[in-house]
Amino acid sequence: MPGDFQPLPRPQGGPITSQFGGRREPDYLRGLNPEQREAVESIDGPLLVLAGAGTGKTRVLTTRIAHILTTKRAWPSEILSVTFTNKAAREMKERIGHLVGANVEGMQWLGTFHYIGARILRRHAELVDLKSDFTILDTDDQIRLLKQLIEAEHIDEKRWQAKVLAAQIDGWKNKGLRPENISAAESGGFANGRGAKLYAAYQARMKVLNAADFGDLLLECIHLFRTYPDVLAEYHGRFKYILVDEYQDTNTAQYLWLRLLAQGKPAGESNICVVGDDDQSIYGWRGAEVDNILRFEKDFPGARVIKLERNYRSTANILRAASTIIAFNEGRLGKTLHTDVGEKGEPISVTNVWDSEEEARTVGEEIENYQRKGENLNSMAILVRASYQMRELEERFITLGLNYRVVGGPRFYERKEIRDAIAYLRVISNPSDGLSFERIINTPKRGLGDSTVQLLHDASRAANVSLLAATRMLLETEELKPKQRSTLRDLVGQFDYWSSLLHDKPHFELAEQVLDESGYTAMWQADKSPDAPGRLENLKELVHSMEEFETLGGFLEHISLVMDRDTLDADDAVTIMTLHGAKGLEFNTVFLTGWEDGTFPSQRSMDESGRVGLEEERRLAYVGITRGRKRVRISSAQNRRIHGRWQSTIPSRFLDELPPDIVEVTDTGSSYGGYGYGGGGGATSRFNKADPFESVYETPGWQRARANQANRKGGGPLTIDGELVARSVDLGGQSSGYKVGERVFHLKFGYGDVISVEGNKLTIDFEKAGTKKVLESFIQKG
């Protein structure tokens, strides 16, 4: 047997707690609350540990492994423990090592899905037409191979890009689909239905190269287990215990892989323990299936479910706010976080401001106030739904001299797409800027290789002129190949044309034109990677930011000053990050900005996935709120530039789901009043001081919408500047399915009678909550 661990004979029968005999119980069990201890000691049979935010799930998982080893139930090499990241695997191994010492070194099967999948695949490579020393391709190698296959099929790679096909294939592999499983409908999205054929060619070519990509590390294992039952039986015998962290984030392939490994015993006897939180499943956009954790009890009949609901992080008010919001989701197993701390803590702060610039000023002032009171900047974080929201915050902090760090990505002006766009503008403003010209000469791809760029550099140095001037010189000679000469002539002509518009056209409109005509915007529109939509939003935010400056030169000077800022993270700095990136972190003070419908919840998520998308957005709200230890401050703006256009907005529907008695509403004095936050209050609630719908009607945006509606002919949805207005806005053209005097029921407010109807908005006299104005979509006939 490997390792130094020498187990005693396994005890036969008897409760687990009796296995220590007359000895003192281990130290690792001390300090566990009853639910945590139950999860640690329940080591026989399938178990789902439903662990809420801040309830100590990592401690439970590591202590459970230590308990299995200490009670001699398994060798270290007989435990399969799966995590999602190498960092989590290292942390788990360190914690187990503190509990059981050197025995942890025998845990050969502790690691990520891909690490363990690769180990299994190398042991049986010949059964899937590979050799044990196969190469694991990275993304660049994968795309280069796909380009070769696309060219061999005589497909236009400019139209059907290899990276788009790579993303499609990765999606199929995450779903556990091999080429023969791809339907015509699935295949139709690429190259007029040739996606499946290219996928098959790609897989065949990788066998010849003795290579696999990351998706194959699980896909080929699934094929191996299904094709060779004796191999699967070997691993059924090898793994006596299986433990999985963050089970709510598993995709279909990971789910199938785990099920095959875990279902080697009769129902109710499989020793699989999964730890996760269905309320924190926020990665659906990259393939995660929350249904995997929701159907665990069906997959493993007789499974035990233990809920960890005692939170060790946040105040009672924060936990109540998060639990109340998430309770509106239908697709969940259900749990309610609570704390043993007696004090409720500060109320949840909700602030409504005029626009996103005032939001940034308000947040900056509050941070400075906390700093003056002795709070460290490290203990504060701003969580946004989309990265483009960061720009105004960053610029405000630079103005204030407030240290900040951006986690999960570069600062706004340091992002690739922003640097590329600025490079185009710098060449227009200063044709001698050779560094900027070199940056974008082949971005997007124009077929200009390193040899062409080197030729331009050589000519530039020889003639002591700028790179652009050298390009003009070479266009008149024969040094360049005809294709490269034609491409460069078109590019130089574009820059000449854009430069001619510099003094006749507003610089922000010119910037938008440059991004479109250069093909740069189209490049990201064609990109199917998960971060492409965010990059497009950042570009729109960049163009919007230019309107604040009188000239292009003034804007570029401002950018230079901003980017000259010390890029080293200060010891004490405010953290700015997206809600997705904040999972697993905690801060004393959390600012949640941009809580308006369309921004958060994201309109794109709701449009693409309907109710499923809305529920994932609500889980994001739950994650954001539970990042706070002491205080949570939420803000919304009445006007925000969305997709490059100013729009009047309405507060996020999530605000109305907050319990009113723990919410403190702040008005900065520049907004048009409240929106009725915390709709669950009674007739005398502080949240009823303003009509929840009327205030938005007085904004300039609403008045423009009224004027547009008066001029509109025919029916159809209302749009403002090309954007669809939320269904909750009605201009009198829609009729409600309810009548005055009708008896209705609301899930939160209870029973009431309709007293007035305005489009799809109803004013209702509720028996317990008093008079409220609500959308008809939240009402049922009583």
Could you list the active site residues?
Answer: 57-58, 245-246, 280, 627
Is 11 strand, coil or helix?
coil
Instruction: Using CB atoms within 10 Å of the CB of residue 654, give its burial: 0 to 12 exposed, 13 to 18 middle, 19+ buried.
Output: buried
CA dihedral 217, 221, 224, 230 (to 10 degrees): 140
* CA dist list (Å): 211 to 124, 134, 182, 221: 14, 5, 22, 14
Structure token digits, residue 434: 């050779």
Say how far apart CA 599 and CA 651 lie, in whole Å: 10
Residue 199: in which H helix or E strand, if any? helix 195-209
Residue partners of 458: CB distance under 8 A and separation at least 6: none
Angle at 512 between CA 506 and CA 516, to 5 degrees: 140
DSSP class of 592 = E
Decide if 272 contacts 242 (C-beta within 8 A): yes
From the list 544, 541, 617, the residue with the least C-alpha distance to 387 is: 541
CA dihedral 768, 773, 777, 782 (to 10 degrees): 40
Count of CA atoms in the C-beta half-sphere (13 A) of 778: 22
Residue 576: in which H helix or E strand, if any? strand 574-578
Which of left, alpha, beta for 433 (phi over 0: left; psi -120 to 50: alpha)? beta
Neighbours of 497 (CB within 10 A): 13
Decide if 200 contacts 153 (C-beta within 8 A): no
Angle at 415 between CA 414 and CA 416, to 5 degrees: 115
Q: Nearest 5°: phi and psi at 633? A: -120, 115
DSSP class of 310 = B
Q: Which residue's structure tokens are 């008809």?
A: 776
Say how far apart CA 79 and CA 65 lie, in whole Å: 8
Helices 416-429 and 507-517 meet at what angle, rounded to 10? 110
Angle at 311 between CA 308 and CA 317, to 5 degrees: 130
Residue partners of 384: CB distance under 8 A and separation at least 6: 390, 393, 576, 577, 578, 579, 593, 594
Residue partners of 466: CB distance under 8 A and separation at least 6: 431, 432, 433, 434, 437, 460
One-letter amino acid of 137: L
Q: Which residue's structure tokens are 């209302």?
A: 718
Residue 423: in which H helix or E strand, if any? helix 416-429
Structure token digits, residue 607: 């449009």
DSSP class of 620 = H
Say how far apart CA 700 and CA 384 lie, in whole Å: 26
From the list 64, 588, 671, the residue with the least C-alpha distance to 315 is: 588
